[in-house]
Structure 1
Amino acid sequence: MSDTVQSLEDLGSAVGVEAEETAPVHVQKLDAHGRAYATGKRKDAVARVWVKPGSGKITVNKKDFNVYFGRPVLQMVLKQPIVAADRDGQYDIICTVSGGGLSGQAGAIRHGISKALTYYEPELRGVLKKGGFLTRDSRVVERKKYGRAKARRSFQFSKR
């Protein structure tokens, strides 16, 4: 064999193996109604989120999100992925959320909206990933241990 191999592509062609595309191709995932569905989680809260083209209405448990989340901070958390993707007012979002408190529920919906947006528009993945919206925040409450008052706090010490 007198040919020298200069790169891995040459090695593949010499052996007869063709180079494959290694970059994952993200495709649009829609249901029968043309909506993108995703599940978001945060603490003990689980949110089911549907995204479809519309006027920008966000519904949480059959209520407007401004009514369900009274605090402006939670409303801002909810809208973060939409604003980051520059899609404000383009999608109707329907959410059902259960478990946890209001803060955890807002975080779960934010996670679900981010995932659903990437399923509807795969090219938004880079923007949302860079903002940290696609990462599931895995911090949960630590369990209580036996022989302790709480997870880490000891019972009060009595000298006498």
Structure 2
Amino acid sequence: MEEEDVAPAEVEEREEEREEVLIQPIASAAIDLAAGARYRATGKRKTAIARVTLRPGSGTYLVNGRTLEEHFPRNTLQRNIRQPLETVGYHERMDVVARLHGGGISAQAGALRHGVSRALLEADPNLRGELKRRGFLTRDSRAKERKKAGLKKARKRPQFSKR
């Protein structure tokens, strides 16, 4: 019985240690951002394009003139977009201004995340290793497959009739 009581406590301690490691910003020796600095980049996902500008500030997001919460109501998309800045510890030091067009809401979120990551790289090239390792700099090249002749859609075939 005692072993069962001890094991969950050890597991909880390990989980807390893992969470602490994930939360710690990698840019502890962060660069000093110039007051008037602007870092621009473009991010893409499917047919969505995000033109992103990072500037020193308090961590606000302005997407097509609206707040992040207004433009992306789903929490999963908001969390996905905030990941690059939170990973490097700049989430309270930089404002994000973005112009998005094309694609759907999920593709726009992916494009914005890609754009923020690339703009971060403009601000601090030393972050490349960590951003690349976490997959933030990789352009997701998956796109809709084209329709083929003789098929109803990209892969859907017409109904087969033996006779």
State the secondary structure of the residue aligned to 2:100. strand
Shift of 1:121: 1.4
Match of 2:133 in 1: 130
TM-score where L is the length of structure 1: 0.77
- Say how many residue pairs are matched: 128
Structure 1 or 2: larger helix share? 2
1:79-106 CA deviation, whole Å, 9 max, x = no partner?
0101111111110100011111111000
Q: 2:79 aligns with which of 57, 76, 80?
A: 76
State the secondary structure of the residue aligned to 2:140. coil
Q: Match for 1:53: what amino acid?
A: P
Match of 1:113 in 2: 116
State the secondary structure of the residue aligned to 1:109. helix
Match of 1:63 in 2: 66
The answer to whether 1:140 aligns with 2:137 is no
State the secondary structure of the residue aligned to 2:159. coil
Please identify the structure whose Cα radius of gyration is greater.
1
Point out where structure 1 has 5 or more consecutive residues left out of the alignment. Answer: 1-32
C-alpha distance in 1 between matches for 2:162 and 2:72: 48
RMSD (CA atoms): 1.1
Q: Match for 1:92: what amino acid?
A: D
Q: Which moved more, 1:119-128 or 1:129-138?
A: 119-128
State the secondary structure of the residue aligned to 1:73. helix
TM-score where L is the length of structure 2: 0.76
Q: 2:57 aligns with which of 50, 54, 58?
A: 54
Q: Match for 1:135: what amino acid?
A: T
Conservation of the 8 A alpha-carbon contact between 1:84 and 1:131: no
Point out where structure 2 has 5 or more consecutive residues left out of the alignment. Answer: 1-35
1:27-46 CA deviation, whole Å, 9 max, x = no partner?
xxxxxx62010000011111
Shift of 1:159: 4.2
State the secondary structure of the residue aligned to 2:153. coil
Q: Which moved more, 1:121-130 or 1:41-50?
A: 121-130
